[in-house]
Amino acid sequence: MRNKITWAVLGVGYLAFFSWYTSFGGPLSEAEIEHFFAALTARNPDMSAERRAMFRDFLESDTGDDFVMLNVIDLHDTPIQVEGVEPGETSSDVLGKYMEYMIPALLSRACHPVLFGQAAAPSLEMFGIDGVRVWDQGAGMRYRSRRDMLEITSNPAFQGSHEFKIAAINKTFAFPIDPWFQLGDPRLVLALVLATIGFAVSSIRR
């Protein structure tokens, strides 16, 4: 009986995590696409027609699944002095202020980095593009869904913190990967950990 209770508790805990970590909302609806597209264009009235078309395609091609945004970043030697940037602060310090909003917003929606690191050298291979030899860091951010990413970036609280990002970053590019795969999916890792705990507890009781 006690073993059944143990497995039931572990199973409920896993299902709760799986339900939170996995997107079940499906692709963006037409109404959502129009809402988010209108919000973006209102915030960026000078956006080029090419970028508008790219963003709309990103919305309309939504799979409803999670995706990873790959980011490559080069920081300013000295951050731009916008409101909220203190004398003596580095660009890394200012980027940290931007993340003060982003981290809680990301984690509450099961969005998190899947890789992050500092550049070990300038670009070792590049062709067909200029001005991209020097970078400071790279990251891959997992989003539970495009809907989650859009809800985060359309929040009014994001607009103020985004100024810190602009002040800290000299140049960057980012593009989404979908579909994608990783061996260390937390849903798989947690399932293995909980199964190990369950078998260990059952073995001890026997």
Count of other CB atoms within 10 angstroms of residue 97: 19
> How much is the pLDDT for 204?
85
Tell me how far CA of residue 44 lies from CA of 27, 40, 57, 83, 173, in angstroms.
24, 6, 17, 20, 18
C-alpha 152/C-alpha 174 separation (Å) is 17
Torsion of CA 9, 10, 13, 17, to 10 degrees: -170
147-153, Cβ contacts within 8 angstroms, sequence gap of 24 or more = 147/23, 147/25, 147/28, 147/32, 147/62, 148/23, 148/109, 148/110, 148/111, 149/69, 149/111, 150/36, 151/109, 152/102, 152/105, 152/106, 152/109, 152/111
> How much is the pLDDT for 105?
92
Q: In which residue ranges of the chain is pLDDT below 70?
A: 160
The token duo for 59 is: 């919305």
> How much is the pLDDT for 58?
96
Burial code (b: 16+ CB inside 10 Å, e: under 16) for 163-182 equals bbbebbbeebeeeeebeeee
pLDDT exceeding 70 applies to what percent of the chain?
100
Tell me how far CA of residue 62 lies from CA of 2, 27, 114, 142, in angstroms.
45, 5, 21, 15
pTM of the predicted model as reported, rounded to 2 decimal places = 0.90
> How much is the pLDDT for 44?
83
Q: Which fold has domain 66-178?
A: Alpha-Beta Plaits (3.30.70)
Q: Look-up: residue for tokens 């809680």?
A: 104
The token duo for 162 is: 């985004």
* pLDDT digit string, tens, across residues 124-183: 998 888 888 999 999 999 999 999 999 998 888 777 688 899 999 999 999 999 999 888
Q: What is the mean pLDDT of the chain?
A: 92
Domain ranges in the chain? 66-178
pLDDT exceeding 90 applies to what percent of the chain?
74
